[in-house]
Amino acid sequence: MKITVVRPQDLGEAESQRWREIQKASPSLDNPFLSVDFALAMGRLRDHVRVAVIEDGGEIAGFLPHERHGFGVGRPLGGHLTTCQGLISVPELKIDPRDLLRACGLSAIDFDHLVAGQPTFAPYETDVRPAPVMDLSGGFDAYVERVRAGSAKNYKTVRYKERKLGRERGEIRFEWDSADIGTLRAVMAWKSDQYRRTGRVDRFAQPWIVRLVEELHSRRSDDFAGVLTMVYAGDTPVAGHFGLRTAHTLVGWFPAYDPAYARYSPGIMHHLHMAEHAANAGLHQVDMGKGGREYKEWLKTGVLMIAEARISRPSPVAAAQWLGRVPISRLRTAVVDNPSLFRAADRLLKGYGRARSTLLSRPISHHTAEQSPKAQ
């Protein structure tokens, strides 16, 4: 067994092609966040991105894309941005993960969206849970029948609101795979506003994430692409989404809508249109990602298993990282698993977001600033 660590841009064409072959051969790896194209895009924007190339018997058997931060702290590629992490490897590959960490120069690495059941990491899984999927393998009509059978009232309500929006605001129109950069920026602006209103960290306040999304939006290939979608009422955009796809799977990433149209449930309406067009484009599923959102429960018709895991080598850095991350992660999981706690936490964050927005919108008193000794 030989492990070589390189930057993504140092991968040769033969290595990139081998990555694609391994990924296509395993259904559990059918996720764009595990694609070599995503690793290459991240490597162009972030200096700490690395790939461990694992050879067995002279043949490449796997890849581990990851981030190497200070003091040997490891993170999955993309960290909090991604909804799928792990080894891209032949199914039977099993190596000592501590040997893998040592070769990568890492003291520890935490996964929160790990492909469940990988032989190398399975013994270290601390939590395994289902991530909701819109199963389109039988076509959109078959998918809708399953949704209606499971939640007829919700489906009827969404379609009623859609007709109401069409009557009051203009004919409903859906755009699949838009190449318009203005449309993409509208979705990002809505999402930034949502992050701030709900007390979350605004990811688009980081310029590199904006550049990453814009770069991936321009990607067009059979195996990997960014997909931008939008619902319009007349000529007015009301809800959109930017995600990534492989040849068979579209992954939900940045859904957003104009809050002025919130009473029409535009986000759920958008998801149904997106599923229809994804099925027509030959995609087999929409991966909505794990997370406590009620709409995912009644839109889902399948699940994928996602795990949390932590691998570390004995060191002071690994111990300090455990104290800083693991208890918080366990608390977060407990809140997400308890509906009443989740609603309470959501209300608290939204209240914080409103208070923060109010504070930031207040005008600064120039008189006070001029008279303050600290201002001098």
Fold of 137-283: Aminopeptidase (3.40.630)
- In the prediction, which pLDDT does 173 show? 97
Decide if 337 contacts 345 (C-beta within 8 A): no
Condensed to tens digits (0 to 9), the pLDDT of residues 161-202 reads 999 999 999 999 999 999 999 999 999 999 999 999 999 999
Condensed to tens digits (0 to 9), the pLDDT of residues 104-115 reads 999 999 999 999
Condensed to tens digits (0 to 9), the pLDDT of residues 58-73 reads 999 999 999 999 889 9
Whether residue 247 is predicted with pLDDT greater than 70 in this model: the reply is yes
| Domains 2-130+305-318 and 137-283 agree in fold | yes
* Domain definitions of the chain by residue range: 2-130+305-318, 137-283
CATH of domain 2-130+305-318: 3.40.630
- In the prediction, which pLDDT does 374 show? 33
